[in-house]
Amino acid sequence: ASNIRVAGVAIGADTLEVATFAGGCFWCMEEAFDAVLGVEATISGYTGGSIEDPGYEQVSSGRTGHLEAVNVFFDPEVVSFAEVLQTFWRNVDPTDDGGQFCDRGSQYVSAIFVRNERQRALAEASKRALEAERRIVTPILPATTFWPAEEYHQDYYTKNPVRYRFYKFNCGRKARLEEVWGEAGG
State yes or no: pLDDT of 110 exceeds 60: yes
Reported pTM:
0.91
- CA-nearest of 50, 2, 3, 41 to 19 is 41
Give the pLDDT of residue 183: 72
Give the pLDDT of residue 2: 41
| pLDDT tens figures, 126-182 | 999 999 989 999 999 999 999 999 999 999 899 999 999 999 999 999 999 999 998
6-13 long-range CB contacts below 8 Å, 24 or more apart?
6/40, 6/41, 6/43, 6/73, 7/41, 7/154, 7/155, 9/41, 11/40, 11/41, 11/73
28 in active site: no
pLDDT band, very low/low/confident/very high, at 15 (cuts 50, 70, 90): confident
Catalytic hit among 25, 28, 102, 171: 25
Report the pLDDT averaged over residues 54-64: 93
Average pLDDT, the chain: 91
